[in-house]
Amino acid sequence: MVYSQRIATPGKPYPLGATWTGRGVNFALFSEHAEKVDLCLFDANGRKETDRIPLPIVSDHVWHGFVPDLQPGHLYGYRVYGPYDPPAGHRFNHNKLLVDPYAKAVVGQVIWHPACYGYRIGHPKGDLSFDRRDSARYIPKGMVVKTEYPWGTDRRPDRSLEHTILYECHVKGMTALHPQVPLELRGTFAGLSSPAVIDHLRRLGITSVELLPVFSFLDETHLAEKGMTNYWGYNPLSFFAPEPRYLTQPGPDEFKAMVARFHEAGLEVILDVVFNHTCEGNHFGPTISLRGIDNKSYYHLLNEDQRYYHNYSGCGNALNLWHPRVMQMAMDALRYWVQEMHVDGFRFDLAPVMARSPRGFEPNAIFLAAIRQDPVLNTVKLIAEPWDIGPSGYRTGEFPTGWSEWNDAFRNGVRSFWRGDPGMNGAMATRVSGSSDIFWRRSPLASVNFIAAHDGFTLHDLVSYNHKHNDANLENNQDGTDHNLSWNCGAEGPTTDTAVRTLRRRQKRNLMATLLLSQGVPMILGGDELGRTQDGNNNAYCQDTPISWLNWDAPGDPEDAAFLDYTARLIRLRQMHPALHRRRFFRGGPKPRGSMPTGDLPRASEGFAPVKDITWLHPRGSEMTDGDWNDANLRCFGYHMDGAEPGREDDRMIILMNAQPDAMAFILPGQAYGREWRVALDTAHDAQAAVDASYPRPNQWLSSGHAYPLQGRSLVLLVERSGLARS
């Protein structure tokens, strides 16, 4: 038994967590069903419990107390007393040390041991049994911190959505092999914000870095037994504390310094956050934090038997965000990361879970409504992954105004088209024009377009493998999706075949060009601009190895440097032309009166009909008809864009796409659409030629009616002659 010389005075019930006042620390913990709460203090290495102090007061289900003279850096945890009655939803066990869900720093990692569980593993009654072993030596500890930081003149870049270029990456994966990042900083926030990484992002033209989870997280037991880790981090322990593995010193300051450096470079920081489940899993999971604090309040339990959990996430449990205190915890965490840590937005993993009630998914759920009305959170970027594994879990397009969503329909449509699947022209046209069939209630900017993301093939692997190769995950290649919509271009994996390698490079150019020239908000997977490969692994969640890390020293293809330049050129093209990042959907008709171009193009008075804001083109140079769209054998089309929106005028453009293996002559439309064109991009040519503004030199200016030699499996961007200065 630990006896304490310290005594807690009543303190205050708010704010929740451990708050240093300068005179001591106020502790506050919500538990609606607890009977008693002990604060446990530990020595500097977290091994010895030095004090066990009952929190003396409970106010509105918040247990609180003030400990004088306690300083930042002190380690702590809780023991919570109450009934152990799983069928009634209660799993209190005061023998288990619990991590404060509001801890601003977490020190140490879970050491998996049977004592981490509230029940006796192997007991005939399973989780209905009760384990009396003390878990403190195996559990991470919260650390008291001071939140002040010398931010100076730090300001959010506040990039508008139409100018946003997202870059999804992993803190460690970006730097683990970077030769210009000091060895001791690789894999950390400090390493990620090193000049070499920031210079790369700025050279590329990125505006916003979207980081895979950085909240404190755990490695699942089945991974620990294999000597693996949860590399991606979608297994949260604390919603306020940065992951210790990404820090050189405990506490939040290193993360703040990273954000300040990114902001100074004009880059936004967006966090991938997990509020759908926690690391405690299902009824057979450990008791580490929320389960032992108040299982019945924090988690969605089945009505018919509260021993069990709703599992909308596939990870064993779901947070009960319909409980006001649980919603408060999530809202407090989000505001903390914006106000104290200065982040610029969030991407919500499996976001429909956050909007689930007993009636199912609700677009106007209280958590979503709370975010939209919050004066802090409604000013940052909000991105939803709009699906989960619960009933009717696919909810793309159903999130409220103010949200953007990952658009897997864009990913699938673009992959299928460039793979050469028949009958994809219509789907491709819908995707590149902003997916109005999905986001019609909002705008094209509601669509976050992507070809590749952390979950699935990289861009290079997408054109190099027909099948997943996940053997390194030690799950007999049974994990990961088989629906990749990939094409290896004629050989599986690495090859010396020149024709295959050339075609792969062209396909990568096609895919990247489609991503960056389409309406919506583009997201690039970190490393795709460098030809990153995972050797065909499409589920590298457990690969904290070179399989997942960016290889900066030895690019997989000699053309990788050229592809980096090519991608940067595409981003510049996109940013220069408002027509490529519209705030409104195309109308499919003439532009509103007063917004017609003022140049010397033929007008309706000259016998030409007004030109539509977007015109879909058949290779013969005429508009596509219903019969053309229904022609499954036609895998080629184009479109003409008549500038941008009213008030944001731009040059006319034509984009031609040919997914067929054979070349064809694509007739440029008549003079009403523009008289002279120049080639800004042709993916049929190697990267350097494709970004050369002077290509093709022999026919610099192409006239209407010209038969453009559109090569097989290629994309061409033509800009009206007046657009030369921009591009």
Read off the tokens for 528: 């795709």
Read off the tokens for 24: 């001591």
At 360, phi and psi to the nearest 5? 110, -165
CB 13 within 8 A of CB 62: yes
Distance CA(422)–CA(416), nearest Å, equals 9
Distance CA(129)–CA(118), nearest Å, equals 8
Q: How far is C-alpha 355 from the geometric centre of its chain's CA atoms?
A: 19
| Residue (of 277, 214, 210) closest to 243 by Cα position | 214
Please tell me which residue in 253, 254, 344, 385 is annotated as part of the active site. Answer: 385
Handedness of CA 395, 396, 400, 402 (dihedral sign): positive
Helix, strand, coil percentages (3-state) for the chain, rounded to 5, are 25, 20, 55
At 628, phi and psi to the nearest 5? -65, -45
304: burial class by Cβ within 10 Å (0-12, 13-18, 19+)?
Answer: exposed
**Residue 349 a catalytic site member:** yes
**For the packed helices 324-339 and 366-373, what is the interaxial angle rounded to 10 degrees?**
30
Scanning the structure block, which residue is given the tokens 């991938």?
272
Enumerate the H helices of 474-630 as residue ranges.
Answer: 498-517, 560-576, 626-629
Q: For the chain, what's the residue count?
A: 727
Cβ within 8 Å of residue 687, ≥6 positions away: 505, 509, 559, 562, 563, 565, 566
Distance CA(722)–CA(725), nearest Å, equals 7
Distance CA(213)–CA(237), nearest Å, equals 11
Scanning the structure block, which residue is given the tokens 């991105």?
383
Read off the tokens for 126: 């399973």
CB atoms within 10 A of CB 588: 12
**Residue 385 a catalytic site member:** yes
Read off the tokens for 75: 């380690």
Amino acid at 16: L
354: burial class by Cβ within 10 Å (0-12, 13-18, 19+)?
Answer: buried
Enumerate the H helices of 463-559 as residue ranges.
Answer: 498-517
CB atoms within 10 A of CB 118: 26
Distance CA(26)–CA(100), nearest Å, equals 13
CB 350 within 8 A of CB 213: no
| Residue (of 592, 531, 596) closest to 557 by Cα position | 531
Cβ within 8 Å of residue 153, ≥6 positions away: none
**DSSP H or E stretch at residue 272:** strand 268-273
Cβ within 8 Å of residue 450, ≥6 positions away: 168, 406, 407, 410, 411, 515, 522, 523, 524, 525
Q: Indicate the DSSP class of residue 591.
A: P
Please tell me which residue in 349, 398, 528, 557 is annotated as part of the active site. Answer: 349
Distance CA(52)–CA(699), nearest Å, equals 83
DSSP result, 468-484: ---GGGSSTT-SS-S--
Q: State whether residue 201 is helix, strand or coil.
A: helix
Instruction: Give Rg (Cα) of the chain.
Output: 28
**710: β partners:** 664
CB 462 within 8 A of CB 511: yes
| Residue (of 390, 346, 339) closest to 367 by Cα position | 346
| Active-site residue set | 349, 385
